[in-house]
Structure 1
Amino acid sequence: MTTTGMHQRRETGGGGAWASSWTAFAAVMMIFGGVMAIFEGISAIAEDDVFVLTRNYAYNFNLTSWGWIHLSLGVLVILAGAALFTGAMWARVVGVVLAGLSMIANFMWLPYYPVWAIVLIAVDAFVIWALCVGISRQPRTE
C-alpha cells in the first residue's frame, strides 16, 4: 500500500468500525426508546385509569397531554434513530438533542410510571454517550 493510500484512509475515517458500531448501537437504542415512548403515549391517551398518581409530587400535569408529548417525541426519536444509520453528523446532533429531551420528559414522567421512566432515562443516557464517543477526531497533521 502506498503512503498516499494510507494518508487518504486516515483522513476519511477517524474511528473506523469502532465509531460506526457505537453509532449503530445508539441508533438501535433510539429506535427502542422511541417505540417505548410511543407505547407510553398511547397508554396515557387511551386510559388515564391505568396509572396511579403519587400524591404531593412537585410536578403535576395532565396525563393526556403528557401522552401526546410522549407520542410525538417517540415518533421523532424513531426517525432520528433511523437517520443515524446514514452516518450523517446532523443525525448525531439531532440524536443527542432528542435523547436529552426524552430524558427530561421521562424525568417528568416519574410520578406516573417510575420503573419505565428510569429505564428510558438510562437508555437515553447510553444513547448520548454512544453518540458522543462515536464522533471521530480530526487527524493530526504530520
Structure 2
Amino acid sequence: MAQTATPHGAHHTPRSKGQGGTAWASGGAMFAGVLLFVDGVLAVLNGVVALARDNVFTLNGSYTYQFTLTSWGWIHLVVGAVLILTGLGIIRGVPFARALGVGVAAISVVANFMWLPYQPVWAVITIAIGVFVIWSLLTDRPRPAR
C-alpha cells in the first residue's frame, strides 16, 4: 500500500475495504446500540402493559409456546432492561458490550418469535431489528486507537 505524507511529516496509510468493513457496517455498531436501547425501552413498556392490564393483548389462535400475560410481562421487563443496559454499553464503547449485544439481540429475536401470537406485526418488526443489530455488530470492526 502506498503511504502519503501529511503536512506534519507523518505517514498515513489508506485503508482498504477489507480493513474497515463496508460503509453500511462502519456506523452500524453505534446505530445498533441505539436500536438496542430503544427496543429495550419498548420491551419494558410492553412488559408493564402486560402486567398491568390482562385485556390489552389477545392471543390469536392456538400455539405451542403459550405463557400467561403475567409471564410475558416479566419476560419483556427483564429482556428490556438488559437491552437498555447493553445498548448504553455499546454507545459508551464498553469492550464486552458488543459481544453481549449479539447475545441479547438473539434472545430478543427468540422471545419475539414466541410473542408472535400476541402482536404479530410488532414481533416481526422487532425480529428484523434484532437481525440487523446482530449483523451490524458482527460486521463492524472496532477502530484501532491512534
Fold equivalence (TM over 0.5): yes
Indicate yes or no: 2:85 matched with 1:109.
Answer: no
Deviation at residue 136 of structure 1 after TM alignment = 4.7
Indicate yes or no: 2:110 matched with 1:130.
Answer: no
Indicate yes or no: 2:62 matched with 1:67.
Answer: no
Match of 1:15 among 20, 41, 47: 20
Deviation at residue 51 of structure 1 after TM alignment = 1.1
Indicate the structure whose relative CO is greater, using CA pairs within 8 Å and at least 6 residues apart: 1
Aligned counterparts, 1:1-142, within 5 A:
1=5, 5-6=11-12, 14-15=19-20, 21-136=27-142
Q: In 2, are the aligned partners of 1:23 and 1:87 still within 8 Å (CA)?
A: no
Specify every segment of 5 or more residues in structure 1 that has no aligned partner in the other structure, as ranges: none
Deviation at residue 107 of structure 1 after TM alignment = 0.7
Specify every segment of 5 or more residues in structure 2 that has no aligned partner in the other structure, as ranges: none
Q: Which is richer in helix? A: 1
Q: 2:88 & 2:67 partners in 1: Cα distance?
A: 31
Deviation at residue 61 of structure 1 after TM alignment = 0.9
After superposition, the CA RMSD in angstroms is 2.7
Q: Would you say how many aligned residue pairs link Structure 1 and Structure 2?
A: 134
Q: 2:68 & 2:56 partners in 1: Cα distance?
A: 14
Q: 2:74 & 2:137 partners in 1: Cα distance?
A: 27
| TM-score, L = length of structure 1 | 0.81
Q: Which consecutive aligned stretches of 4+ in structure 1 deviate over 2 angstroms post-superposition?
A: 1-7, 86-89, 135-138
Deviation at residue 36 of structure 1 after TM alignment = 1.3
Q: Percent of counterpart pairs with the same letter? A: 47
Q: 2:91 & 2:119 partners in 1: Cα distance?
A: 31
Deviation at residue 29 of structure 1 after TM alignment = 0.8
